[in-house]
Amino acid sequence: MKYGIVAFPSKKLQDLANTYRKRYDPHFAKITPHMTLKDSFDASEEEIQTIVKQLDELAAKYAPLNIHASRISSFFPTTNAIYFRIEPTEQLAAFQHEIQENISYGETKHVFVPHITIAQKMSDSEHDDIFGQLRMTGVDEKDTIDRIHLLYQLEDGSWTTYETFRLSGAE
């Protein structure tokens, strides 16, 4: 089964992201707006029990994540994805690094760029037009994320929560 580890922002930030995702993200119905902490990976039921224990330990170590969506950016020319850029912090980088180190399933597909995708899978001309419009609109939202989620993928391609972990530590 396919799993992934994400952090969901507050409803306010999700609603803002969804105003764009409804129109520009074909994955809109498959998963709510999120920040990916570990790309999707395959694991067995036994392996997942180990991963749950590791995530419990990490969540007990780290304090809630303070994030700042500071601007609208793009992964062009790698992909035509547009996103809310989340300003990197030492805490967020350390937390994501520990997840990668401790949960060594799957391959790291990209360098970690904290973000919330708002548009993807567009043609080049569509991307250029939409990106130009959205950059002028901008974003400046601060948020606190106090839990992370282990998700699994359903047969229809949508994602649902397997388990939630409250960030309750001091780091």
Active site positions, annotated? 34, 115
For residue 33, is the peptide bond before it cis, meaning its omega torsion is within 30 degrees of 0? Answer: no
β pairing state of 82-86 and 35-42:
unpaired
Distance CA 97, CA 120 (A): 26
Tell me the residue length of the chain: 171
H or E element at residue 16: helix 11-24
Tokens of 75: 């992964």
Backbone angles phi, psi at 24, to 5 degrees: -120, 0
DSSP string, 106-122: S---S----EEEEE-S-
Determine contact, residues 74/81, Cβ cutoff 8 Å.
Answer: yes
